[in-house]
Amino acid sequence: MSADQKAHPVIAPDHQLPAPQKKQSIAFRIFVWIVVLLVFALIFWLVLRKRDNNAATAAKNSRGAGGQVTLNSATAQKGDIGVYIDAIGTVTPVYTASITSQVNGIVTAVHYKEGQFVRKGDPLIDIDDRTYKATLLQAQGTLERDQNVLGQAQMDLQRYKDAWARNAIPKQTLDDQEKIVLQDQGTVKLDEGMVQYDQVQVEYCHIAAPFNGKVGLRLVDPGNVVQSSGGTTLAVITQIQPITVIFTIPEDSLGQVQPRLRKNAKLTVDAFDRAGQKKIAEGTLLTLDNLVDTTTGTVKARGLFDNKDFSLYPNEFVNIRLLVDTIHNATLIPTAAIQHNGQAAFVYVIQENVAHMRSVKVGVADGVTSQVTGINPGDVVAVTSFDKLQDNSKVTISNKPVPASSQGSNAP
């Protein structure tokens, strides 16, 4: 045996070891694996024990001494609640006018300012009217001439009548003069029509506000040439006060709305902002459309608003709540107190610091308040801490805000 072989002895594999040594090697490896598994099991048990201890401590801290649940409560009240239909509406002016020119000419003056509120009859735009005034003057001259011709024919007719009475002229002369008078009367009427037409043309040159409203941005300037057939819009006016909102209601709701309208009831319409949180205007239902939209199964409705504070703006989108009925002497509780288990609804009624689960039937909901049957006015119900509550749980009522982590939407 060489010196290197003595310094580094070779370890034979297990299958080359003698039988006694081979059994000892296998037993040693099994022992090592058992020890490793026991160590992992111990670590896992320690982790679970620590988590259970933490959960128990948290439960004890949240429930307080004696395992009681701290919660906020509310008392069921007797009162009135409204039945509403919610919809999305568009603010629509009662009147909107896009003013165009009825004559050809040059714009000589623009009297309004952008965004100005004008009253009916206020001047807006002037167009050069000299040509139309000259034509009117000619028509007036023709009318005046023909009126005098008619007057002369009427005088001759009177003379002929007197002469016929004395048998001084033949009957044919009198008849001819009567027809001449009728012809002259027709000519005068034709002239009067031409005068009126030319007067209208002159008036078209001076455009005034057709109703009270707000003028939009300026669309023409002095010096612009306008045509009666061009279709160019000179100004846009919208009525702001009052104003309407057009919205749709489901056709299934017609049975609630139509009977009230037939009784001339004034149904309240509230307009809210886009988020549906802030009420911006209050009005009344004006009318319903005369047909159902078969594609959507809805009916258009129009609500009328005074809009005294200009809170509603034309073409603005708003959320609408239509009050169709009011339920009187209903039992009312906060909506947050109602819990659900599938289709069933229930509340926790607090009696002598003990929570009792009570099934209820939910009726009309008006935001944070709901109508229920199954409890009585005066009953105290829980409104928080539902994640800890169970039937017959002991509770402590607190008026202090409860942390959000202790509130729940469903009972366990």
Predicted pLDDT at 19: 58
From CA 74, how far away is CA 354, in angstroms rounded? 15
> Are 303 and 318 a contacting pair, CB within 8 Å?
no
Helix (H, G, I), strand (E, B), or coil: what is residue 330?
strand
Closest CA to 335 of 355, 360, 356, 353: 360
Classify strands 206-208 and 77-93 as parallel, antiparallel or unpaired: unpaired
- Give residues with Cβ within 8 angstroms of 25, minimum separation 6: 14, 17
Predicted pLDDT at 87: 92
**Helix locations, 168-213, DSSP H:** 171-204
Predicted pLDDT at 54: 62
Q: What are phi and psi of 229, to 5 degrees?
A: -100, 5
Give the total residue count for the chain. Answer: 412
Predicted pLDDT at 100: 92
Nearest 10 degrees: Cα torsion 307, 311, 314, 320: -90
| DSSP code of residue 58 | H
Predicted pLDDT at 10: 46
Cross-strand partners of 86: 321
Closest CA to 160 of 138, 177, 139, 135: 177
Q: What are phi and psi of 348, to 5 degrees?
A: -105, 115
Helix (H) / strand (E) containing 287: strand 279-288
Helix (H, G, I), strand (E, B), or coil: what is residue 187?
helix
Q: What are phi and psi of 345, to 5 degrees?
A: -120, 145
Predicted pLDDT at 196: 96
Long-range contacts of 126-133 (CB under 8 A, 24+ apart): 126/205, 126/206, 126/207, 127/101, 127/103, 127/204, 127/205, 127/206, 127/207, 127/226, 128/205, 129/105, 129/202, 129/205, 129/206, 131/105, 132/103, 132/198, 132/201, 132/202, 132/204, 132/205, 133/202
Closest CA to 325 of 248, 267, 285: 267
Classify strands 279-288 and 268-272 as parallel, antiparallel or unpaired: antiparallel
From CA 255, how far away is CA 99, in angstroms rounded? 42
- Ordered strands of the 213-215 beta sheet: 96-100, 233-238, 213-215, 117-118
Classify strands 393-397 and 69-71 as parallel, antiparallel or unpaired: parallel
What would the DSSP string read from start to end of 296-307? TTEEEEEEEE--
Predicted pLDDT at 63: 45
List, for residues 173-182, the tens digit of each pLDDT value.
Answer: 999 999 999 9
From CA 207, how far away is CA 107, in angstroms rounded? 11
Low-confidence ranges of the chain (pLDDT < 70): 1-25, 52-67, 399-412
List, for residues 157-171, the tens digit of each pLDDT value.
Answer: 999 999 999 988 899
